Amino acid sequence: MSLNKTPMAAVEQSSPSKVPILSAGDISPAVMRQFEDSCRNYFIHKKIIADDQVSLIIGGILDSHVSDWISTKRNHLIALSFDTFMIDFCTNYLTEDWEEDTLCDLLSMTQGNTTSFWDFVVAVQNKNSLLCGTTSHLPDDKLRHQINAGMEVRLSKKVSSKKLNKVVDFRKWLNEVRSCDEGLRVEREEYERIARDNCESFRCVNHSNNPHSRRISYTNNLPTTGAPAVSSEPRKQCPKLLDSKHKLLNNNEGCVECCNFFENHRAANCPNNFLNPATYKTLMQVDVDRAWRTCGKCVAAVTAISPADTSSSSDGTSHHPVTAVLGFSHNLVAYVAPNASSVFKRSLDGDSDSSGSQTVSDPSPQSVVKPLKEASPLHVEDLYWRCLTSGNTDEFPVIFDALIDHGLLAVLISEDHALKLGLCLKRLRKPYIAELAMEKNGQKTEFEFSEYIKLQLHDLSSYWSSKTICAIVMPGLCSPMILGLPFLSHNDIVVDASACTAIDKK
C-alpha cells in the first residue's frame, strides 16, 4: 500500500494590495520566507498599523493544521507583533533542524561547469537569506570564503593569477570575478566553435579524399527482388543488435540500419531497404573478412628474398613473399586479417644459411604479389597538433601548434615558449645530451640541456587532455613543442603517417 505524499505549500498574491494566500501543504523555509516578505509588502502598500497586522493576514493561511492552531490561540496570536508571530509560526511548522539542513545545503553549493558565476552567487545569497535572524547566517566575509571555495576550478585559477583576492570590498570583488568568468566563457565558446569548424572541415576533406567511399557495398543478407507481397500476418522484425554487433559495425565503417560493412553512409542517410527477417543472420567477424575480400584492397608488407628463390621463378620475374596482409579501417586495430601460416621461421638444425639467418617458407600462390613500382616521396608534410595549455601568465589558456615526432626519444619545448607559459623550471638529475645528426669538420657535435618543465596539453574543445608530461627546455627549438615517444607512449597514442592521424587507442 503506497502512502500519498503531502504536497508542498505555495504562496499566491494577485497584487500587493491583496492579502497573501498560503496554500495547504508542507512549508519549506523558502516558502516561509516568501510568505513573510509578501506580508510585509502588503503592510507597506496598505499602510497597516502594527497592532492590526497579524489579524489581517491569518485569514490567508489555508492549511487546516495551521488554522486549528490559530483558532485555539487566536486572542493570544492577534495581540502579538508580526515579528513575534512569525517566530512562533516558524517554530511550530518548520522542521526542527531546518536551520542546520539549510546551512549544510549552503556550505555544499558549488558552481559546476555549466552555471555562470553570477547565477551561482545569486543562488548562494538566496540560500543565505533564509538564515536571516539566526546564528547560522553568514556575514559578508564568511560568505565570500564560501563563494570562493565553491568556484569552478579554471575560474579560481584565473582569479588567483589576477590577484583579485586582494580586493577588500565584497561587492567590488564579486563584479571583478564576474568579469573574469564572462571572459573565460567567451573564450571557451570560441574554442568550441573553432573545434567544430576544424572537425567539420576535416570530415569533408577526409570523405572526399577517401577512396573507400566509392566502394561497392557488401551485405551479409541476400538481396530481395521486387516489392514484397501484402500479407495480413504480423510483420516479422529482425532481432535488436547487441552492443558487440554495434561495435563490430562501427569499427569497420558499417551501417547499423542495413548492416553493411565498409559503407560511406550511416543510419541517418541509409539508402538501402530494411533487412529481410527471413534471410537475416547474426553478424560475425567472418562477415567482415568476406566483405573486405569483396571490396577491399590489401596492403602488403614485403621482405627480402634469397637468390635461390629468385632464380626459381618460372616467369623470370622477381616475386616477394608477403609477411602480413592488413585490412583497411578507420580504426586500424579493429580489423586484422588472420595469417594462416608463419612466413618467417628459424632453421631447426641451427645451421646458418649463406643468404641470412632466417629462411622463408614457401608462400602459397595467392600470397605472392609483385613488388610495388612506385617510389616513396622524398619528403612529406610535418604532423602538427593544435593544442592548448595553461600557464601562470595572464595569457590563459595558450594555443599553439606542437610538432609530433614518433622518432624522437624525448619531449622538447623551446625556451621562449617555456618562459611565455611562466611555468617553474626544474633541474634534471642528469643532463640530457643531444647529438647533431650531421658531423661538422669530421667531428660530432653534442648539446647539453639541464632544465625541464611539467605541463598538461588539451585539445581546443578541452574534451581530451593528456597526462602530465615532462618537457626538456631547449633554446632555439624550431617549434614551440616537439612531442616525441614519451608523450605518445604515455598517452597510448598511435600515429598513422599515411593518414596523417594520431589516435588515442584507449
Of residues 315 and 139, which shows the higher confidence score? Answer: 139
Mean pLDDT of 279-301: 66
pLDDT value of position 122: 92
Q: Is 423 left (phi over 0), alpha (psi -120 to 50) or beta?
A: beta
Q: Mean per-residue pLDDT for 374-385?
A: 80
In this predicted model, what pLDDT tens digit does every residue of 61-72 receive, in sequence order? 888 888 888 888
Q: Average the pLDDT over 364-393 and give the result.
A: 69
Residues 150 and 177 sit within 8 Å (Cβ to Cβ) = no
**Mean pLDDT, residues 3-26:** 83
Q: Could you tell me which residue, 425 or 326, shows the higher pLDDT?
A: 425
Q: Kindly report the average pLDDT of the chain as a whole number.
A: 75
100 or 376, which is more confident? Answer: 100
Give percent above pLDDT 90 in the chain. Answer: 7
* From 40-44, 352-356, 456-460, the region with the lowest mean pLDDT: 352-356
CB burial of 136-154 (b: ≥16 within 10 Å; e: otherwise) equals bbbeeeebbebbeebbbeb
Cis peptide before 397 (omega within 30 of 0): yes
pLDDT of residue 472: 93
Asked if residues 126 and 102 have their Cβ atoms less than 8 Å apart, the reply is: no
Name the pLDDT band for 165 (thresholds 50, 70, 90): confident
How many of the other CB atoms lie within 10 Å of CB of 288?
A: 25
Q: What is the pLDDT of residue 185?
A: 85
The pLDDT of residue 148 is above 70: yes
pLDDT at position 96 is 78
Report pLDDT for 24.
Answer: 86
Q: How far apart are CA 131 and CA 119, in angstroms?
A: 19
The arithmetic mean of pLDDT across residues 85-100, rounded, is 85
Lowest mean pLDDT among 81-90, 216-225, 394-403, 439-448: 216-225
Residue, of 288 and 30, whose pLDDT is higher: 30
443 - beta bridge partners? Answer: 440
Q: CATH 2.40.70.10 residue ranges in the chain? A: 384-504
User: Can you give the pLDDT at residue 368?
Assistant: 46
Residue that wins the pLDDT comparison between 213 and 381: 381
* Cβ 191 vs Cβ 387: under 8 Å: no
With a cut of 50, say whether residue 397 has pLDDT above it.
yes
Give the residue carrying C-alpha cell 612531442: 483
Does 485 or 337 have the greater pLDDT score? 485
For 384-504, the fitting CATH number among 3.40.30.10, 2.40.70.10, 1.10.620.20, 3.90.700.10 is 2.40.70.10
Whole-angstrom distance, CA of residue 175 vs CA of residue 156: 14
Indicate the range of 120-134, 329-343, 453-467, 484-498 predicted with least confidence: 329-343
| Per-residue model confidence as pLDDT tens digits over 238-288 | 677 677 777 777 777 788 778 887 777 777 778 777 777 777 777 777 787
- Report whether 319 contacts 368 (CB < 8 A): yes
Residue 69 to residues 22, 33, 40, 363: CA-CA distances in angstroms? 15, 20, 22, 99
Averaged pLDDT for residues 30-56:
89
Query: Is 80 exceeded by the pLDDT of residue 440?
Result: no
The confidence score (pLDDT) of residue 295 equals 62
Cell of 401: 601548434
pLDDT for the residue numbered 318? 41
**Cβ proximity of 48 and 17 under 8 Å:** no
Asked if residue 50 has pLDDT above 70, the reply is: yes
Q: Are 64 and 23 in contact (CB under 8 A)?
A: no
Residue-level pLDDT at 233: 54
> DSSP string covering 366-418, please?
GGEEPPP-PPPPS-----EEEEEE--SSSS-SEEEEEEE-TT-SS-EEEHHHH
Residue 476, pLDDT > 60, answer yes
In this structure, of 56-60, 120-124, 335-339, 484-488, the range with the lowest mean pLDDT score is 335-339
The stretch 447-456 carries a mean pLDDT of 88
Burial of 469: CB neighbours in 10 Å, binned 0-12, 13-18, 19+:
buried
Task: Say what the pLDDT of residue 356 is.
Answer: 42
| Cβ neighbours of 457 (radius 10 Å) | 22
Q: Quick one: cell of 354? A: 649463406
Long-range contacts of 279-282, Cβ-Cβ distance < 8 Å, separation of 24 or more: 279/221, 279/222, 279/224, 280/221, 280/238, 280/239, 281/220, 281/221, 282/245
Look at residue 396 in the predicted model and tell me its pLDDT.
Answer: 63
Most confident of 260-264, 295-299, 358-362: 260-264
For 329-353, give the secondary structure using H, E and C.
CCCCCCCCCCCCCCCEECCCCCCCE
> What is the mean predicted confidence (pLDDT) over 359-378?
54
Radius of gyration for the alpha carbons in the chain, expressed in angstroms and rounded: 37
pLDDT of 319 strictly over 60: no
DSSP string covering 410-468: S-EEEHHHHHHHTPPPEEEEEEEEEE-SS-BTTB--EEEEEEEEEE--B-TTSS-BPPP
Are the C-beta atoms of residues 472 and 457 closer than 8 Å to each other? no
In one-letter notation, the amino acid at residue 474 is M
